[in-house]
Amino acid sequence: MTTYRNRLSLIFQFISMIMVLTMLFGCGPSTAELAAENYTPLSQGDWPVSTPEEQGLDPNLLKDFYRNASKLDTIYSLLVIKNGSIVAEQYFNEGSPEQKAFIQSISKSYISALVGLALDQGCLTSVDQKMMEFFPEFAEQIIDPRKEQITIRDLLQMRSGYPWEETHEDLWAGLASGNYMPLLVGFPLTNDPGDTFQYSNWTSWLLGVIVSRACDTDLKEFAQEHLLSPIGSDAGDWWSDEYGYYYSALGFTARDLARFGALYLNEGEYDGKQVISQEWVKDSLQTYSEDAWTIRIGRNIKDIGYGYQWWSARSGDHHYDFAWGHGGQLIVLLDEFEMIVVLTADPFYGNHFESWPSEKANINLVADFIASLPTE
């Protein structure tokens, strides 16, 4: 009897220890994690909503996805759209359905769309037009003749020859100054145009200026008329420089970003209307630079390439295209599943060089989810 009681006592002690460890170290889902599993989309009338089961998506994968998202402290929103319906939606930390998140470099994909629309409108004739055609006031100041050969195509593909500003303190200071026009002359080329992929924030601003000058228009008004209104969006804050030209930095709600993603997933068509040409969408989502990003992000994201201001990658067996903003903000297009994933997060504005751990965690969250999807 004594032996039996001793064993029983040890069992109860072991169970108590497990319970204490669970409370101390978070074994099992927390209250926040369980709450995140309630990812039922909001019925607001602007999007059809559905369930994962109705759209052929395993709800357990989404449950894990949203539970993992709840552990990250910089995410604002996470949406999943499948077959044109929102099947999962949740807001975290400071996020809300009305929040117009500062999407940072996701804006580059919007600028790319405006280049395509300028071609559709006849303002531009070709992506092979030379950059300097639109900046004649600097023609006499250009010392490096290679700058005269830079094309719109080179700018779109990040192959202009201009360097990534973050590689040198002086370049970053020039970008941070906001006085962009003189950089056309002052920024040195480190490669021949068209030769090598080098990420450049500044060249995306150049594309916006080119559209504005080519179409003789205010870029924000042009974007609202030809891109945003047709997909039911409105730009939030859009900063401009001292010359009146807009930075590649916009604010949108998570659902606004989903609308933009749907436009590209559906080959330029939205709500039955061809907003942007199918050819432009196809050209934009090509991979022109393979291995464009060589810094390791995670085990489930590889083959990161670049198109016309859009990225591409592979996670598990699945290829996808994505717009990528600082802080790990994403619009992901999964063509094989007719699926869009949107993630907004803290943009780390003014704290640019300390964001990478959070940015990487957000990107890996989505990459791991994509890798978990079955092969159809």
pLDDT of residue 31: 55
The DSSP output letter for 291 is: T
CA distance 314 to 304: 7
Compute CA 279 distance to the chain's CA centroid, rounded to the nearest angstrom: 21
Q: What is the pLDDT of residue 301?
A: 97
- Mark out the alpha helices in the chain (DSSP H runs): 2-25, 31-36, 59-69, 107-121, 152-156, 169-177, 183-186, 201-214, 219-223, 254-265, 278-284, 356-372
pLDDT for the residue numbered 35: 56
How confident is the model at residue 244, as a pLDDT? 80
pLDDT of residue 165: 82
Give domain limits for the chain: 32-99+253-271+284-376
Residues facing residue 79 across a β-bridge: 89, 342
Q: How far is CA 187 from the centre of its chain?
A: 26
pLDDT tens for 159-177 read 999 988 877 777 777 777 7
As a whole number of angstroms, the longest Cα–Cα distance in the chain is 101
- Opening angle at CA 157, ends 268 and 275, nearest 5: 15
Q: Determine the pLDDT at residue 373.
A: 97
How high is the pLDDT of residue 28? 53
Are the C-beta atoms of residues 236 and 252 closer than 8 Å to each other?
yes
pLDDT for 241: 80
Residue 122 falls in which region: left (phi positive, over 0), alpha (psi -120 to 50) or beta: left
Separation between Cα atoms, residue 59 and residue 369, nearest integer Å: 12
Q: How do residues 258-276 score in pLDDT, each as one tens digit?
A: 999 999 999 999 999 999 9
The model's pLDDT over 85-135, given as tens digits with 9 standing for 90+, comes to: 999 999 999 899 999 989 999 999 999 999 999 999 999 999 999 999 999
Q: DSSP string covering 95-121, please? A: --TT--EE-GGGHHHHHHHHHHHHHHH
- For residues 356 and 348, what is the distance between their CA atoms, to the nearest angstrom? 10
Give the whole-angstrom CA distance, residue 74 versus residue 94.
8
Per-residue confidence (pLDDT) for residue 19, from 0 to 100 = 39
- Separation in Å, CA 322 to CA 44, 308, 333, 366: 26, 11, 6, 11
Let me know: does 106 contact 329? Beta carbons within 8 Å. yes
pLDDT of residue 271: 95
pLDDT of 21: 39
Q: How far is CA 256 from the centre of its chain?
A: 13
pTM recorded for the entire structure: 0.89
Q: Which residues lie across from 306 on neighbouring strands? A: 289, 311
φ, ψ for residue 266, nearest 5 deg: -100, 30
pLDDT lower than 50: segments of the chain: 1-2, 4-6, 8-26
**Domain 32-99+253-271+284-376: which topology?**
Beta-lactamase (3.40.710)
Q: 259 with 269: CB under 8 angstroms? A: no
- Would you state the structure tokens that stand for residue 98, as one six-digit string? 């009305």
**Which residues pair with residue 343 across a beta bridge?**
78, 330
Distance (Å, rounded) from C-alpha 145 to C-alpha 148? 6
